[in-house]
Amino acid sequence: MDESVAGETGRLAFDTSVAHQARIYDYLLGGKDNYAADRAATEALRAVNPEIDSTVRANRAFLGRAVRYLAADAGIRQFLDIGTGIPTAGNTHEVAQAAAPESRVVYVDYDPVVLAHARALLVSGTEGATDYIDADLRDTGSILAGAAKLLDFSRPVAVTLISILHAIPDADDPHALVARLMDAVPPGSYLALSHAGSDLVSPQVQHGIEDVAGRMIRQQYASRSREQVERFFQGTDLVEPGLVRVEDWRPNPAAGDTARSSLWCAVGRKRQPNPASATA
């Protein structure tokens, strides 16, 4: 089965002849878990989009600030982190447990290289816990069933989808996938995501990225407009500052990071259901 085809789900095959999103990201962050095809695709991406390095740096910094906000300010103690990536500095459980040691984090990814590193993600502080699920985002049923072994779905959960949804083409209805995940968590839960913005790059850069992705990268590339990204947050209230570029979401001036990105992001809190619509 070709796992990237719309409508089909499953773990990616281990294939070093073509670039994988997780390994490109690892290479851009200075990691060692990448192969010649990943490095070639990264160089091709750099040639068409010189902002790619600062974009991944800004994205990773956003992940840290968003998880810290959720644990330290919003009181969240349960995280479902889908599209985990190869472990690097500041993994979700490390950030969350630094603020709230009892935090529980379930990681999900479908890349066998990420699975091979899962042990690093399972080193939880003793007060909290972590788990790893080898699954495709498009298989929300397996993800929710697996996550329920560690997370209590009667209590708030933060669903984090950081830099993954642009690997899901429209044919797989990413908005319905996110809605299914958010339907499974109670009001007061959060959705945090970042997403490549089609309206944050020039048409020339956009075509360049699509061309490289189509020729050299395993996953499809579906960047989306601000309005399309905002639709993921239906049923939530966006926390300040709303939907912005990742570097503009509650920036930490002390970190001195001036990285510029082409990714939209936001964090939304799930609303109480409207009683009028429940009885209609």
Ligand X SMILES: C[S@@+](CC[C@H](N)C(=O)[O-])C[C@H]1O[C@@H](n2cnc3c(N)ncnc32)[C@H](O)[C@@H]1O
State the residues that interact with ligand X by CB under 6 A.
21-22, 25, 59-60, 63, 83-85, 109-111, 114, 136-138, 162-164, 167, 219
Q: How far is the CB of 227 from ligand X (least distance, A)?
A: 22
- Rounded to whole angstroms, how far apart are CA atoms 134 and 111? 8
Which lies closer to ligand X via its Cβ, residue 20 or residue 278? 20
Which lies closer to ligand X via its Cβ, residue 152 or residue 255? 255
The tokens describing 168, both together, are: 């899901």
Q: Where are the alpha helices (DSSP H) in the chain?
A: 21-28, 36-48, 52-68, 92-99, 112-116, 118-121, 140-147, 174-183, 203-216, 226-230, 275-279
Which lies closer to ligand X via its Cβ, residue 71 or residue 164? 164
Short-list 1, 40, 37, CA closest to 17: 37
Q: How far is the CB of 4 from ligand X (least distance, A)?
A: 8
**Length of the chain counted residue by residue:** 280
Q: How far is the CB of 228 from ligand X (least distance, A)?
A: 17
Other C-beta atoms closer than 10 Å to the C-beta of 44 total 19
Contact 197, 264 (CB under 8 A): yes
- Rounded to whole angstroms, how far apart are CA atoms 55 and 263? 7
Which lies closer to ligand X via its Cβ, residue 119 or residue 271? 119
Q: How far is the CB of 82 from ligand X (least distance, A)?
A: 6
At 174, give phi and psi (nearest 5°).
Answer: -60, -30
Q: How far is the CB of 59 from ligand X (least distance, A)?
A: 5
Q: How far is the CB of 57 from ligand X (least distance, A)?
A: 10
Which lies closer to ligand X via its Cβ, residue 83 or residue 268? 83
Contact 107, 130 (CB under 8 A): yes
Which lies closer to ligand X via its Cβ, residue 151 or residue 177? 177
